[in-house]
Structure 1
Amino acid sequence: MAVGDVVGVRRETVALPMPSLLLVAGFAAAVVAQGGYYLPGRVLSGLLVGVAVVLARPRPTLLAALGGALALWAVLRGLLEGEVLAALPTVAAAGVFVGAVLVAAQADREQRELLATVVAGVGALVGLTGWVAVVFRIPSWTTVAEGLLRAASTLTYPNAAAAVMAAGVVVSLVLRPSLLTSVMSFVLCTGIGATMSRAGVIALAAGLLVLCVFEGFKKTIAAAAPPLLGAVVAVGALLPTMRLADEPEVLLAVAGLVVGALVALGLPRLGRFVVPVAVLLAAGGAMAAFAFADRLASRVSFSSPDRSGATGAALELVAKAPLFGAGPGNGSFFFARVNDGARVMRYVHNEYLQVLVELGAVGLLLALGVVAAVLIAMWRGRGTSLWAGALAAVVVLLVHSGFDFLWHLPVVLIVAGLCAGLGFPPTRGGVNEGTAA
């Protein structure tokens, strides 16, 4: 099927069942509550997903068994370390993700298209609020790093915001083409640029590669090029405002956003002129990046001394307890930086390594088992454009998880579970065949 050729009906005729509505409510709650990282947001989003699971009453599955085994292993390791409460975040993470998968998997085709629109739409709101925060210097929605003002939106963490938006981009590209989906795709791409997240860009590229494989290279590029090039214009106009030492250029940023939107919406209508115009836009974006290269040096380099130091410290902890790990919550990483003294980081910015440190090889194998069960079930549901978008979104989040601590934020877990469920085999009589995998 072609990109954008999703089978569906008019949205006003589609009604989401209560479990799906609660799942959407959990997603929205986590977005508003700083990604659900802190206790109130984590409890609220987790409770909403939990009630959704109770109402949906999914049948027992291998995925649920593996998620439960991971949670039980975390509890056991907590008991052995004398800090069982430290296992609760892992238990909640496994429950939220698996619960979101099983609830979303029960939706029918039309409901899945609507849920996919919610993922893209909420992600676009995250991107827009992040852009506004940078332009108008809203402290609570931005993060300062190496002198740059990075969009964080209500999630207050730029990399998590980028992960949610990157997943939203690949989903939006397979929705039925319309003015709404075009605008959402553009805002999502612009939002990723405003976060200045290197991992977000890498993960988005991985997701687009998945779409190229399953939807075709030409069709994927045709769908992705307009919003990406429009975002180049918008982000290029935003660059002068991103350096904290400079005065914000509000009018330039607003003009860039408007022109970028016109590019994203008008480029597909240029016919034979689309290629030269696209080349000019790409060249202009490259020139803007070069002009601000000195100000963006920390974001265009793969160097990250803190993460490298934390990774080295994490590997030392793994060497001490490779099989069973140091125990949940015991993954603090101490290291020294040249001319900067001793440093400590709570997260290693690689969720796979974080699990290996805290829960050992046993915990990592269980976590990878959960991932494998999801991918196997999704493979059985292949065949539609929405499936390709859902798979691409899951790949986006799996790739990005190798660069940041995303599994500690319920908003990312809900998005991952929701997108995974959208790619499961279609339901028959209210029972989802793919959940048995």
Structure 2
Amino acid sequence: MDDVRRVVVGRCIRGFADGFVSVLLAQYLTDLGFSPLRVGAIVTGTLLGSAALTLAFGLRAHRTTLGRLLVWACVLMAATGAGFAATTSFWPLLVIAVVGTMNPSSGDVSVFLPTEQAFIAHRVEGRARTRQYAVYNLGAVLAGAVGALASGLPARLARATGWELTSAQRLGFVLYALAALVILALYRSIPRREPSVEQAAVVAPLGDAVDDTRAPAPRPPALGASRRIVLDLAALFSLDSAGSGFVVTSMLVLWLHLRFDLTASTTAGVFFAAGLLGACSQLLAPVLADRFGMVRTMAFTHMPANVLLALAAFAPSGAVAIALLLVRALFAQMDVPARQAFVMAVVPAHERAAASSITNVPRSLASATTPLIAGALLTRTTFGWPLLIAGTVKFSYDVLLLVLHRNTPEGPVDGVTPAPVPGPAA
């Protein structure tokens, strides 16, 4: 199995685990007796912790091998699952949420993301990256859908055995920890030799061979030539993620339960179907990106999803809300591989890990603040204010992205700057 395939398989396993706990988490915390505000606080904690760890890993990536960082991320993931399984008190859970890797969303906001993205970018060239990222995301979304469906198993186990529901649910976090150990076994096989592919890009100019007979050049900063565009994109992605934080899977599960009294098995089925639909959309992203460009693909596929999300807030019944959310799922994830490939294309090779980290950390920070607000809103009313706010904010991001970057050259690609994307003058 080659290194890229190991990363894709690892992402699939983690996708299953994330899909499982993202649906289970809100149900479990509610069954422990936590208020919506406390549920929102723990979800916020997971996102804040992800932001800090992602930044630390991304800024360290140019000083070590990406394979070594992935191994340490697996160890932390296993410890997070064990911690959630071992305690039921609010404050210890909040601490574990902040320092761990728990993912409250069906997407990926974890420390693994920038490291894996940079790892793939070092080994896949040019526009083929968009297709590889689509495969990377497709497997994760499909596995996440299966994980969401499986999240109803603890409730069935409790009914079949007579166990307390929360005891059965804690087994789900044990499963999360075991998944981390399986991924660790995969990633330990990734070579961690010196110099690595990523280090070669650091110590030699882009496109030059590494000459072992000469002293290595001084290490460049983690982010240099691409600083301006990376910070610009980070600000835009933060706006999108601030909206997404209102509707991470855990908060959508909570809203559907409070508003329409949906059962655990029903919500598991809903997010399984949403995951499958999202996976299908990933296959179209490379085709659209080749035809229309990455930025246009990101914006024009995202807009319908956000309109549907806002409309779901006014749904008169659970069936209508579910229908709108499922149709939204057809469009909501199509921008992801295009966004990942775009960031990797516009920065030099040795800055990819840092660029991915810096564009993802503000996203995590922005999305970390809004689940707490969503929890506070749902404490006062079951109306879908979180969905309406999220749809409006995320649509605004799409418009700004299109206005500011529709003609941004989608390169350099491996040192070659392509022509600007065809379109009207800015």
- TM-score, scaled to structure 2: 0.27
Structure holding more strand per residue:
1
- TM-score, scaled to structure 1: 0.26
Higher relative contact order (Cα pairs below 8 Å, separated by 6+ residues):
2
